[in-house]
Chains A and B, each alone.
Chain A
Amino acid sequence: MLVELIFVVIKILVVITVLLLGVAYMTWLERKVIGHMQVRLGPTHVGWKGLLQPIADGLKLVAKEDIIPTMVDKPVYIIAPLLSLIPALSAFAVIPFTNATVNLFGTEYHLYITDVNIGLLYVLALSSVGTYGIIMSGWASNSKYALLGSLRSSAQVISYETAMGLSLIGPVLLAGTVSLKGITEAQANGFWFIVPQFVAFVVYLISAIAETNRAPFDLPEAETELVAGFHVEYSSMKFAMFFLAEYANMYVVSSIATIVFLGGWNGPFGPSFIWFILKIVALMFFYLWLRATLPRLRFDQLMTLGWKILIPIALVNVVVTSIVLYAIN
């Protein structure tokens, strides 16, 4: 029991460390990829090819003065970034990234943190909790830009969350479980759910990008009109936490897309976690590509896309999938 407990803590620390490093190097990759897509070089000065740039940025943010404006609601102002970051990190407790096991004192332990039979619902629930961080930060800041940004952002996140949840019903129908490990194993024969559920995959991907406030749905941050949206009054580490939460959330939605639609850890050969990471990196690159390609949507276009296009498509997909599934059985 004690061995198991210690092992779980070690697994959690390793996963969080890898995740935070992944977030840091995602920012490097983003600047490099978008730089090259716009025929620039991106960061080059700190370290070889700018590889130490994320570390330098992190240190800079820690050492910055922490400005808390006088008019803010202080407790809420401080809790808000925590409430963004904690759900984003905690979602990784149920992500099965490898099927490898390790033998400790005669007992087999799996390497992912845990698997619960409500895994997918747990991740969806946590992504809803993250919305509170956005609303609270906008309200507590007592700044007009922050309030407008947080209203927009929360309306956007909750609109697309509905489409996201509905698009995941189709694969769950096929798998017959919401355990993320179960969904991965249901695709072990190489028949990934992206093939029968391609419509759901497209709906999911669009909602996921909107859910994480990424371009072309980055309205909360719209620099040209809202300066930075809900985190305009935040500085130093508190700002960094919103940043970390946004990128960690990108990893969460990519992991769910990988597990539910792209077969998770399943690959033709080699160790399973390599395949999992490869699929996630491919999705992340796709996000960057989108950001370099598409202009930002207007807010009414964004809401129209979410409510009038994605939700009906997702509902039709659920009905058609269930009827076809019943007819086949």
Chain B
Amino acid sequence: MSGYLPIALMLVIAALIGLISISVGFLIRPRKPEKVKLSVYECGMPEFSDARQRYNVRFYVIAMLFVIFDVETVFLFPWAVSFDVLGLFGLIEMIVFIIILVFGYFYAWKKGALEWA
């Protein structure tokens, strides 16, 4: 585990640096809050509605496709590392796996999940 202790330390120190740099200006910076200054930016217009409205469903579709493809990528990494050990069986198995994925990919393409017109 000794290789992972420095990573934990790095995370802690990075978090500390973030927290310190957020709070260090607290002592020297001005604080003059004002109603207009504290409203959200809308090109100088008074804000007229909450920003959290419905948004395009395509972002959601992209997120789902990402989960599928990224999990598949993660499957490929251990296969790539032990490629020498697995031999022909591993090669054919992974090509079958990729072909199945490519079917799903073209299905998503034909369904228009990748179109942004």
User: Which residues of A are at the interface with B, using a C-beta cutoff of 8 A?
Assistant: 8-9, 11-13, 16, 62-72, 78, 81-82, 85-86, 89-90, 92-94, 113-117, 120-122, 128, 139, 141-148, 151, 154-155, 158-159, 161-162, 165-166, 169, 172-173, 176-178, 227, 232-233, 236-238, 240-241, 299-300, 303-304, 307-308, 311-312, 315, 318-319, 322-323, 325-326, 329
- Tell whether A90 pairs with B10 under 8 Å between CB atoms, given A169-B80, A172-B77: yes
Contacts of A325 in B (CB 8 A): 83
Of the A-B pairs whose beta carbons lie under 8 Å apart in the complex, a sample of 13, sorted by A's number, is A65-B29, A67-B38, A69-B38, A117-B3, A139-B52, A148-B55, A178-B81, A233-B40, A240-B21, A303-B114, A308-B109, A322-B94, A325-B83
B7 and A86 contacting across the interface, CB-CB below 8 Å: no
B62, chain A: closest CB distance, angstroms: 5
Q: Which residue in chain B gives the minimum CB-CB distance to A117? A: B3
Determine if B76 and A169 form an interchain contact, defined as CB atoms under 8 angstroms apart. Answer: yes
A227 and B41 within 8 A (CB): yes
Q: How far is the CA of A310 from the CA of B79 in the complex (A)?
A: 21
A285 to B77, CA, bound (A): 30
Interface size classification for chain B: 35 or more
0 or 1 for each of B16-36: is its CB under 8 Å from A? (1 = yes): 011101101110111111000
A329 touches B84 (CB 8 A): yes
Please indicate which of the listed interface residues B65, B74, B81, B101 has the most CB atoms of chain A within 10 Å of its own CB: B81
Cα(A67)–Cα(B63), bound, Å = 32
Q: Cβ of A173: which chain B residues have Cβ within 8 Å of it?
A: 80, 83
CA distance A42 to B93 in the complex (A): 56
How far is B73's CA from A169's CA once the two chains are assembled, in angstroms?
8
Contact partner of A90 among B7, B24, B29, B115, CB < 8 A?
B7
Q: Is the CB of B40 within 8 A of A69?
A: yes
Give the residue name and chain of the A residue nearest to B87 (CB): A326
Task: List chain A residues, Cβ under 8 A from B83.
Answer: 173, 176, 322, 325-326
Which residue numbers of B lie inside 8 Å of A, CB to CB? 3-7, 9-11, 13-15, 17-19, 21-22, 24-26, 28-33, 37-43, 47, 50-52, 55-56, 58-59, 62-63, 65-66, 69-70, 73-74, 76-77, 80-81, 83-84, 87-88, 91, 94-95, 98, 101-102, 105, 109, 114-117
Chain A residues closer than 8 Å to B40, beta-carbon distance:
69, 71-72, 141-143, 146, 233
Are the C-beta atoms of B114 and A307 separated by less than 8 Å? yes
Complex CA–CA separation, A9 to B33 (angstroms): 40
Chain B residues whose CB sits within 8 angstroms of the CB of A323 once the complex forms: 91
Residues in chain B near residue A166, CB distance under 8 A: 69, 73, 76
Known contacts A89-B14, A113-B6, A166-B76; A236/B29 CB under 8 A: yes
List the 8 shortest-distance A-B pairs measured between CB atoms, nearest first. Answer: A300-B116, A165-B73, A93-B10, A114-B6, A89-B14, A158-B66, A143-B40, A172-B80
Contact present for B9 and A9 (CB under 8 Å): yes
Query: Are A308 and B114 in touch, CB under 8 angstroms?
Result: yes
A280 to chain B, nearest CB (A): 19
User: How far is A325 from B40 in the complex, measured between Cα atoms in Å?
Assistant: 56
Q: Across the interface, do B3 and A114 meet the contact criterion of CB distance under 8 Å?
A: yes
- Structural contact, B10 and A144, CB atoms closer than 8 A: no
Cα distance, A238 to B22, chains bound together (Å):
6
B14 touches A86 (CB 8 A): yes
Within the assembled complex, what's the spacing in Å between the Cα atoms of A236 and B26? 10
Give the CA-CA distance A151 to B50 in the complex, in Å: 16
